[in-house]
Amino acid sequence: NMLIVDFGSQVTQLIARRLRELGIYCEIHPFNAMTPDFLTRFAPQAVILSGGPASVPDADSPRPPQEIFELGVPILGICYGQQVMTQMLGGRVERGDHSAEFGRARVTASDLRDPLLDGWFEGGDEQVWMSHGDHVAELATGFEVLATSPGAPFAIVADRARHFYGVQFHPEVHHTPRGRALLSAFVRLAGFTGDWTMAAYRDEAIAKIREQVGEGRVICGLSGGVDSSVAAVLLHEAIGDRLTCVFVDHGLLRKGEAEEVVTMFRDHYNIPLIVAEESDRFLTALDGESDPEIKRKTIGRLFIDVFQDKVAEAGDAEFLAQGTLYPDVIESVSFSGGPSVTIKSHHNVGGLPEKMGLKLVEPLRELFKDEVRALGSELGLPPSFIGRHPFPGPGLAIRCPGEITREKLAILREADAVFIDQIRKHGLYDEIWQAFVAILPVRTVGVMGDGRTYDFACALRAVTSVDGMTADYYPFTHDFLGETATRLINEVRGINRVTYDVTSKPPGTIEWE
Ligand code: XMP
């Protein structure tokens, strides 16, 4: 069990990612959560101190508790972590007013025998990513230098007797090409074998759910997306029919989606499922509304009402399961956290209120998105389901700019199905982060056969992205676009014009609203 102490670096999550890739289970906790009691309970086998934006010479800069150095386990300090360890163990850190070092640098090993450098420093020097203002000026007692760089005479330092290591650079980022080998050397010298696998995780997670839930009953909201689906299947393995799933059909789903969810969960997995077919209620509430934020709020509010009704129907549940993921859980350490602007107020199944009086079960809260997918495979969910594009909670409502009508929704569903079919047929689905059609609030004139048409225009949207935060439009070939436009106009009644949206994010957003 590896403990990562967070001092607020932008890249702390990457340390966890790299370790998990090495088959090591680890958790990130903020520096100010390190009470002696916490350390006893967590009982880490090794500790990594992250980087951070603070400056060690400042009197109020963040510190781990001194006890962390008395646990008798290997410690790796990265950047700020190296500096704070040095200072606390009797060395000295200098403010780097004139000697900041940012970007690529080469470090040269002065001692290749050390296990930390083993298998890493093949040629005696390596490229690393530096990003620091301050630097170590005097080593702590018991430490020696293992490697230097032109800007950092203490690029790697070690107290070999205690297995304390400090690196001035960031081994967790991609710009340190062999950083993974350094982390790997550290975990090996700390005695980890790297045997953390999804199969092991699944068994652990099932045991944890059983322990938490006991003989209780659990309700789980299904959205049709990967997270809630994986959570539901995992819970069902753990507690069987003491799980009830609730699926709200708000009338804003894609073609065939509600049926797919029912087939998969009720028929295939035999999970007790309540389907709330409430499209009338949602569409009536949205009638005449064209403001995107009001659409979202209306849908979010109604969703909670409907969900609460269904939970009451399901009887005596004590627990509510949510597919919360690790990135939502990590308490971020923020030093300069000003308020950020709300671009869109997201609504999804995860946003159910605490006032429902149910205890939360969050079986995915230790996992990153791709780990959830791996767990889904482990649980036997079909690859086509695991690889599904994300779909927003408000659904087609935000792909129908302007007023939502049943007619427009029906056209949109058909058009979207044709577009996705085209993408699948051309083998492009997995290269694309998200693809959909938006139906535009304008009718345009066309000619078909000998007749005049006056139908809706639509926009195709397909983007590549890593996390949805930034995105670029997908470079379809002209042939693909032409073929898709022809199919849409021929197969979908109500569409007579097709455009392709080539806006990136920023300045655009992925959805149209
Ligand atoms: P934007 O449009 O903000 O989308 O670039 C980024 C990602 O978030 C999804 N999205 C939403 N998801 N509720 C959701 O659950 C929402 O209100 C919402 N709005 C956007 C969008 O589909 C994309 O994956």
- Rounded distance between C-alpha atoms, residue 264 and residue 183, angstroms: 41
Q: Domain 198-334+342-386 is in which class?
A: alpha beta
Q: Whose CA is nearest to atom 20 of ligand 1?
A: 392
* Residue 154: alpha-carbon gap to chain centroid: 35
Is any ligand 1 atom within 6 A of the Cβ of residue 52? no
Exposed / middle / buried, residue 212 (Cβ in 10 Å: 0-12, 13-18, 19+): middle
pLDDT for residue 349: 52
Q: For residue 471, which atom of ligand 1 is closest to its CA?
A: 5
Is any ligand 1 atom within 6 A of the Cβ of residue 434? yes
- Rounded distance between C-alpha atoms, residue 451 and residue 448, angstroms: 5
On the question of pLDDT at 339 being above 50, the answer is no
CATH code assigned to 403-500: 3.30.300.10
Cis peptide before 115 (omega within 30 of 0): no
pLDDT for residue 393: 92
Could you tell me the pTM of the whole model? 0.78
To test the pocket of ligand 1, the residue of 469, 510, 512, 513 to mutate (highest count of ligand atoms within 8 Å of its CB) is 510
pLDDT tens, position by position, 287-311: 999 999 999 999 999 999 999 999 9
Question: Do 198-334+342-386 and 2-189 have the same topology in CATH?
Answer: yes
pLDDT tens, position by position, 460-499: 999 999 878 889 999 999 999 999 999 999 999 999 999 9
Q: Whose CA is nearest to atom 21 of ligand 1?
A: 392
Is any ligand 1 atom within 6 A of the Cβ of residue 292? no
Q: For residue 508, which atom of ligand 1 is closest to its CA?
A: 5
Nearest to 166 by CA among 180, 151, 150, 153: 153
pLDDT tens, position by position, 9-65: 888 888 998 998 899 989 889 999 999 999 999 999 999 999 998 999 998 999 999
Exposed / middle / buried, residue 288 (Cβ in 10 Å: 0-12, 13-18, 19+): exposed
The CATH homologous superfamily of the domain defined by 2-189: Class I glutamine amidotransferase (GATase) domain (3.40.50.880)
138 beta partners: 92
Is any ligand 1 atom within 6 A of the Cβ of residue 511? yes
- Rounded distance between C-alpha atoms, residue 295 and residue 347, angstroms: 10
Q: Where are the domains of the chain?
A: 2-189, 198-334+342-386, 403-500
Cβ(105)–Cβ(150) below 8 Å: yes
